Chain A
Amino acid sequence: MNALIGGVVRVNFNLSEEQQMIMEMVREYADGVLKPKAREVDERGEMPWDNIRQMAEMDLMGIPIPESYGGAGLDFTTWAMVGEEVSRACTTTGAVFGADMLCLYPIYFFGTEEQKKKYLVPLAKGEVVGAFGLTEPNAGSDAGNVKTKAEDAGDHYILNGSKVFITNAGDAQVYVVIANMDVNKGARGLTAFIVEKGMPGFEIGKNEKKMAYNSLPNRELIFTDCKVPKENLLGKEKRGFRVAMETLGVGRIGMGIGAVGLAQAAFDEALAYSKVRVQFGKPISTFELVQAMLADMATEIEAARLLVLRAAFMKDQGVPYEKEAAMAKLFASEVAMRTTTKAVQIHGGYGYTKEYTVERLMREAKLFEIVEGTSEIQRLVIANHLLR
């Protein structure tokens, strides 16, 4: 996809030669390594470091970051396409891959040269993993209500408060944390900081027990008079809301493509099963009602993929893409939910058992409608753009 003419996207669906080579390699890796152990990864109950290390060696952890900062120097479209393959083969690894970018990207976009050298390089090389901490017990959809307090204490800042649900927390080395320098001003007090694991006063709390994604770390961040050096301010004081929104833009592409990968995995399972399951003397794939489900699933996945890749493409072109990213995330996550539900349906009773992957995929799909802006919030964002 390339070229923008008069604000209209002229569509070219061909992959570049580079992208073709990359996708061939990534597909081979996803099917050869990630997929065969996806079930075991889900059952082990801890971060799949083996996969992450391997992906780092393949330069997959910093795809859209310039080579001068340890990345591969490619674009967000390629990052998204790789993300789909990873999520399709191993949803947990896909989630780590997506959440990691929520830390890399704001440091790349807002960071000083020193911050990039110190934090972005090891993150982009995949030597360490990152996390993004915005949500608090009383600030979810209402991000402006963040109460974690940041005070200027002369040569450093002092952070007090806590975050919940933070993906990769505990395993991550670098955290982009949104705190508030003026609680009375709500969103206009928000300020972003780079916090390192092990800084005095920064502790990791309990790991959530979830409906799915058993091996994905989601922990609390607890700040008790945490001293953060002055040079770890990310962007400007009281401009953290922009950092959060800019980050969530990329996050929506990441979530959207993760949902597409997950939906594709469920579809692949359902299609294969429908051909081998025999009832009334025939494979169930010969029944038109089953065929209709398969046709709808495939069509919706294709539409979701195109929406997400278009948002990524717009981001690469440097044009506003907030509305498109919200549409992509909203649609893709609801497609993932519908697709996995149908995939279970096609599997019948077996689909309801732990023997079959679609049971897990259906539980996992629900996350996408909640995280990084619920479906309701996405609709609000889209409507705000429409009514401007």
Chain B
Amino acid sequence: MNIIVCIKQVPDTTDVKINPETNTLIRDGVKSIVNPFDANALEAALQLKEAAGAKVTAVTMGPPQAMDILREAVAMGADDAVLVSDRAFAGADTLATAYTLAMAIRKIGDYDLIIGGKQAIDGDTAQVGPGIAEQLGIPQITYARRMEMDDDMLLVERMLEDGYEVMKTALPALVTVVKQINEPRYPSLRGLLAAKKKEIPVWNAMDIGADEKRIGLTGSPTKVVRIFTPQRNTRAVMLEGEPEKTVETLAEVITKLSV
């Protein structure tokens, strides 16, 4: 079985400070980490590998320094890694990101399962996983909290707010995972040393045969106008007294607010 894990490099939010004037993240000097949900995705892949045997390939789209998280993935146990990197990818929204990753995954080829995180802790959209599945035309199951092979089908427990769904899919398929699925392992010494020596290819737009109109800023229909923390203007009014009285007052308040 061939498993591809999509991992993203994100700023360590425990380190992040917000610039109060611009309301944007201060990224300078902030440590970069593997998006935590993607570490769960990788762990899930490694557990499937240990249970049933598989080749695990980690892929990321990002700047050259994103190589760090690929080495970390190899140190944890990924067999291979690919960095998808090109200046032309800059400014990609979720659509362009999904397209780019899908093209890279096509180039890796011969995949049975693609695993990603539920969402990235910086972008937070949770769109890239499903986007990749759409681009590739394969089934997707999001929010997986358990996953195992059942003959040649994949059995997945999908987390819902008030319970879970059990789903079964044929492969190839794409799954995104929640943190409840597992506890990511620490890399091993041997893994670390192997990762240091590992040749990790870097693919640019041409290598993956990407259509230049569909990548980066050009390929991104979404434009960010402004990012801000919404103001909270809630006021609470406590109604006290006998229930009959308070119900009356409440009715009046609601009428006045014309909800």
Interface residues in chain A, defined as those with a beta carbon under 8 Å from any beta carbon in chain B? 17-18, 21-22, 25, 28-29, 33, 54, 57-60, 63, 67, 72, 74
Contacts and interface: CB of A to CB of B under 8 A. Distances in A.
A29 B189 CA distance: 12
Contacts of A59: 188-191
B185 interface: yes
A109 to B, nearest CB: 21
21 contacts: A17-B196, A18-B192, A18-B196, A21-B192, A21-B196, A22-B192, A25-B75, A25-B186, A28-B186, A29-B186, A33-B186, A54-B186, A57-B185, A57-B186, A58-B187, A58-B189, A59-B191, A60-B189, A63-B189, A67-B190, A72-B190
A25, A29, A54 interface centre (most CB from chain B within 10 Å): A25
A17, A59, A63, A67 interface centre (most CB from chain B within 10 Å): A59
A23 to B, nearest CB: 11
B193 interface: yes
Nearest to B193: A18
Interface of B: 75, 185-193, 196
Main secondary structure on B side of the interface with A? helix
B189 A57 contact: no
B188 A58 contact: yes
Nearest to B192: A21
A29 B190 CA distance: 16
Contacts of A25: 75, 186-187, 192
B190 to A, nearest CB: 5
B186 A72 contact: no
Nearest to A60: B189
Contacts of A58: 186-189
Given A18-B196, A21-B196, A74 B189 contact: yes
A72 B196 contact: no
A251 B192 CA distance: 27
Contact of B188 (A18, A33, A57): A57
B186, B189, B196 interface centre (most CB from chain A within 10 Å): B189
Contacts of A28: 186
Nearest to B190: A59
Nearest to B185: A57
A281 to B, nearest CB: 30
Given A17-B196, A21-B196, A33-B186, 11 more contacts: A18-B192, A18-B196, A22-B192, A28-B186, A29-B186, A54-B186, A58-B189, A59-B189, A59-B190, A67-B190, A74-B189
Contacts of B75: 25
Contacts of B196: 17-18, 21
Contacts of B188: 57-59
A156 to B, nearest CB: 37
Contacts of A60: 189
Contacts of B193: 18, 72
A17 B196 CA distance: 9
A29 B185 CA distance: 10
A21 B191 CA distance: 11
Nearest to A32: B186
B73 to A, nearest CB: 14
Nearest to A59: B189
A59 B190 CA distance: 7
Given A17-B196, A18-B196, A21-B196, A72 B185 contact: no
Contacts of B191: 59
Nearest to A24: B192
